[in-house]
Structure 1
Amino acid sequence: MTENAVVDVPDRDLLTIGAFAARARLSAKALRLYDRLGLLSPAYVDEATGYRYYRADQVELARLVAMLRQLDMPLARIAEVVAAGDGPAAAELLGTYWADVEARVAGQRTLVGYLRGRLSGRGSEMYGRFVVEMVDVPEQVVITEMRHVPADELPAWIPASLGRLEKAAGECGGIADAPFVVYHAEASMESDGPVEACVPVSDEPTAREWAAAEGRGRQMRVRVEPARRLAYTRITKAQVAYPQILAAYEAVEAWMKREGWEYAGHCREIYFADWETAVAEDAVCDVAFPVKRA
């Protein structure tokens, strides 16, 4: 016996999965998947046979789910659209999702252009746009917040974390120097660091007292950042965006190799300007590597 067979069901108007699939222009396999994922459940399942039956008014919902799947919408977001029903709320959820898709595609398009430049041998031309300099930074007392953060969450996490730390710095003698972010491991789509936001403060004893009393609850701590020699290049607000910032990092690394310097610590971004008021052409950040002589 198949699921298209005639059996007794509570409502004679219910459609077998085969009939419903034909009307919805979907396969029975797709309907079973939607049921398993919780996106479209049958109106009735026969306990003895396990056969699925659907109402005719579920056809439009089945077609909606299928079309949303064609947009590569994640299952959780499809469930949100379905739960919102027909109307402005569902349309707004779809619009938000598609804006995210377009932003991601725009970023991927920029990355493709960057990679084409590298693969076509124009790396030196791209790196030539960046001026690399050296600076000696003295020992600093910093309050920090460390998280595992994938690359796509960094644009939101960095300003939020530095904002929290800058606010806390007021209880630790004030901000002593430019805030910075240290990448203890790669932050990409496949790797999430960890990444450490740091704000230098003026009063170490007060900072340590504050960390013992309140910092732990805020997942912040105090440490001493040793004196370092940095090789760095200064970039604009527009160049901070991924993947443009990759060229800045690689330009510094190419300069280090050419000039005979080795890595002496984790790479970092030093934010010395007001991000909110800066425009795209304003210099806002130094991309830096701690270095030592090879």
Structure 2
Amino acid sequence: MTLMPIGEFARLARLTVKAVRHYDAEGLLVPASVDAHSGYRFYRAEQVRTATTIALLRGLDVPLPVVREVLEATDGAAVAAALARQRERLAAELARREQVLRSLDALLLAPERVQYDVAVAERPPVRLDGVSGRVRADALDEDTGALCRAALESGAVKGREPLVAVFPLDLVDEFSVTVGVPAASGGTVLPGGAWATTLHVGPYAELPLAYTALLEHVRMLGRAVIGPVTETYLTDPGTAAPDELVTRLAVALQS
């Protein structure tokens, strides 16, 4: 069996020596042999294909567990299934990024399109019956969507819409969110008093534009916000196009 040192192997695979060592540490690219005295790693030429596969997948930000799944697949069908899941993930991520770019276009290139009517009105306390869960700030849409699906599947909320999601006023890395519907015996209570509201029509990814307009309007009125913040989903994302989604944003104000 012909072996080559790590430097030559890395050159053939178009990788850095550091990357090859990292993949070894992750158990994805174990050397064919390691010198017991020097610790030098040696590889077979057949391992170049594995190294290239790893590099291509990681270049697409495929998680390491999925890379391991692809490498350990015993047949072509298993490999195809794993890659199909990643293709779907990448397509969803591309769609999300396109929505973000649309938001930037609206904000920076066509600010006249970013217009929201804000109203302030008194309302009584409201109880919500639903589900609560932890949400990550860097996966806000994904985690909130999962909570909405869980709420719709629960016995108390199923078939009763629109859903209301309750967020803290200030975001941290991870926080609790409640998703539910108004109910006489609900466990989550939204305070009564003055609330500022506005409507957003369009994709959820563009909601930050509506938040900015809402909170800036309140600031210009000289009112103090105390929270919480709510999003009421007035259209079904399962049937409405992204541009047709209607969301009511509201924030509680200091009396």
User: TM-score range, shorter-chain basis?
Assistant: 0.7 to 0.9
**Separation in structure 1 between the aligned mates of residue 152 and residue 162 of structure 2, nearest angstrom:** 12
Quote the offset at 1:98 in angstroms: 3.9
Q: Deviations over 1:246-267 (max 9, x none)?
A: 1122222232233443313221
Q: Deviations over 1:92-114 (max 9, x none)?
A: 42343244334324433432443
* 1:196 alignment counterpart: 178
**Separation in structure 2 between the aligned mates of residue 19 and residue 85 of structure 1, nearest angstrom:** 29
- 3-state DSSP of counterpart to 1:93: helix
* 1:133 alignment counterpart: 119
Identity %: 30
Question: How do 1:8-19 and structure 2 match up within 5 A?
Answer: 12-19=1-8
TM-score of the aligned structures, taking structure 2 as reference length = 0.79
Q: 1:199 to 1:152 in 2, by over 3 A?
A: closer
* In the alignment, structure 1 residue 235 sits paired with structure 2 residue 187: no
Quote the offset at 1:277 in angstroms: 3.9
Letter in 1 for 2:196: A
Q: Pick from 133, 157, 168: which aligns with 1:147?
A: 133
* In the alignment, structure 1 residue 72 sits paired with structure 2 residue 61: yes
Q: Deviations over 1:1-25 (max 9, x none)?
A: xxxxxxxxxxx54444345445444
Q: Deviations over 1:255-289 (max 9, x none)?
A: 22334433132211023444434444656431111
* In the alignment, structure 1 residue 114 sits paired with structure 2 residue 100: no
* 1:168 alignment counterpart: 156
Letter in 2 for 1:267: V
The answer as to whether partners of 2:196 and 2:214 remain within 8 angstroms in 1 is: yes
Q: Deviations over 1:36-84 (max 9, x none)?
A: 1211101232334323233332221122222223333332332222222
Letter in 1 for 2:48: V
Quote the offset at 1:181 in angstroms: 0.9
Q: 1:161 to 1:262 in 2, by over 3 A?
A: farther
The answer as to whether partners of 2:117 and 2:199 remain within 8 angstroms in 1 is: yes
- 3-state DSSP of counterpart to 1:158: helix
Q: 1:116 to 1:127 in 2, by over 3 A?
A: closer
Letter in 1 for 2:163: P
- Unpaired runs of 5+ residues, structure 2, are none
Q: Deviations over 1:188-231 (max 9, x none)?
A: xx7333322233223x3xx6xxxxxxxxxxxxxx2433323322
Which is further off, 40-49 or 244-253? 40-49
The answer as to whether partners of 2:148 and 2:163 remain within 8 angstroms in 1 is: no
Quote the offset at 1:35 in angstroms: 0.6
The answer as to whether partners of 2:191 and 2:252 remain within 8 angstroms in 1 is: no
Q: 1:223 to 1:81 in 2, by over 3 A?
A: same
Quote the offset at 1:27 in angstroms: 4.3
Q: 1:282 to 1:63 in 2, by over 3 A?
A: closer
**Separation in structure 2 between the aligned mates of residue 28 and residue 282 of structure 1, nearest angstrom:** 51
Higher percent of residues as strand: 2
Q: 1:110 to 1:278 in 2, by over 3 A?
A: closer
The answer as to whether partners of 1:234 and 1:283 remain within 8 angstroms in 2 is: no
- 3-state DSSP of counterpart to 2:175: coil
Aligned-residue CA RMSD (Å): 3.2
**Separation in structure 2 between the aligned mates of residue 27 and residue 197 of structure 1, nearest angstrom:** 48
**Separation in structure 1 between the aligned mates of residue 40 and residue 48 of structure 2, nearest angstrom:** 18
**Separation in structure 2 between the aligned mates of residue 230 and residue 197 of structure 1, nearest angstrom:** 19
* 2:166 alignment counterpart: 182
Letter in 2 for 1:228: G
The answer as to whether partners of 2:125 and 2:191 remain within 8 angstroms in 1 is: yes
